[in-house]
Amino acid sequence: MAYALQQLINGVTLGMIYGLIAVGYTMVYGIIGMINFAHGDIFMVGAFLSLIAIVGLGMLGITSVPLALIVTLLFAAGIAALYGWAVERIAYRPLRGSFRLAPLISAIGMSIVLQNFVQVSQGARVKPMPQMIPGGVTLLSSDGFAVQLSWMQIAIVITTLILLAAFTWLVTRTPLGRSMRACEQDLKMAGLLGIDTDRTISLTFVIGAALAAVAGLMFLLYYGVIDFFIGFIAGVKAFTAAVLGGIGSLPGAVLGGLAIGLIETFWSAYFSVQYKDVAAFSILVLVLIFMPTGLLGRADIEKV
Partner 1 sequence: MSRGATALPAILRDAGLSALVAFGLFAVMIGLKTDAGPTSLVLTPRPWAVVLAVAAVFFGRLAMLLWRLWRPAGVPAPRRITAGFARAGRYIAPVVLAVALTLPLYAGRYWLDLGILVLTYVMLGWGLNIVVGLAGLLDLGYVAFYAVGAYSYALLAQDLGLGFWTCLPLAGILAACWGVMLGFPVLRLRGDYLAIVTLAFGEIIRVVILNWTTLTGGPNGISGIPRPTLFGLTFSAGGGPGSFADFFGIEPNLTQRVAFLYYVILGLALLTNWVSLRLRRLPLGRAWEALREDEIACRSLGINVTITKLTAFAMGAMFGGFAGAFFATRQAFISPESFTFIESAMVLAIVVLGGLGSQLGVAMAALIMIGGSEMFRELAEYRMLIFGLALVMMMVLRPRGLVSGRTPSVSLGERHEIAPDLVAQGRG
CB of 134 or CB of 292, closer to partner 1? 292
CB of 16 or CB of 42, closer to partner 1? 42
| Closest approach of partner 1 to the CB of residue 153, in Å | 23
| Closest approach of partner 1 to the CB of residue 232, in Å | 7
CA–CA separation, 255 and 253 (whole Å):
5
| Closest approach of partner 1 to the CB of residue 265, in Å | 17
| Closest approach of partner 1 to the CB of residue 147, in Å | 30
| Closest approach of partner 1 to the CB of residue 120, in Å | 6
| Closest approach of partner 1 to the CB of residue 255, in Å | 18
| Closest approach of partner 1 to the CB of residue 105, in Å | 5
CB of 12 or CB of 248, closer to partner 1? 248
CB of 36 or CB of 160, closer to partner 1? 36
**Using H for helix, E for strand and C for coil, what is the string for the chain?**
CHHHHHHHHHHHHHHHHHHHHHHHHHHHHHHHCCCCCCHHHHHHHHHHHHHHHHHHHHHHCCCCHHHHHHHHHHHHHHHHHHHHHHHHHHHHHHHCCCCCHHHHHHHHHHHHHHHHHHHHHHCCCCEECCCCCCCEEEEEEECCEEEEEEHHHHHHHHHHHHHHHHHHHHHHHCHHHHHHHHHHHCHHHHHHCCCCHHHHHHHHHHHHHHHHHHHHHHHHHHHCEECCCHHHHHHHHHHHHHHHHCCCCHHHHHHHHHHHHHHHHHHHHHCCCCCHHHHHHHHHHHHHHHCCCCCCCCCCCCCC
CB of 79 or CB of 214, closer to partner 1? 79
CB of 195 or CB of 243, closer to partner 1? 243
CB of 68 or CB of 195, closer to partner 1? 68
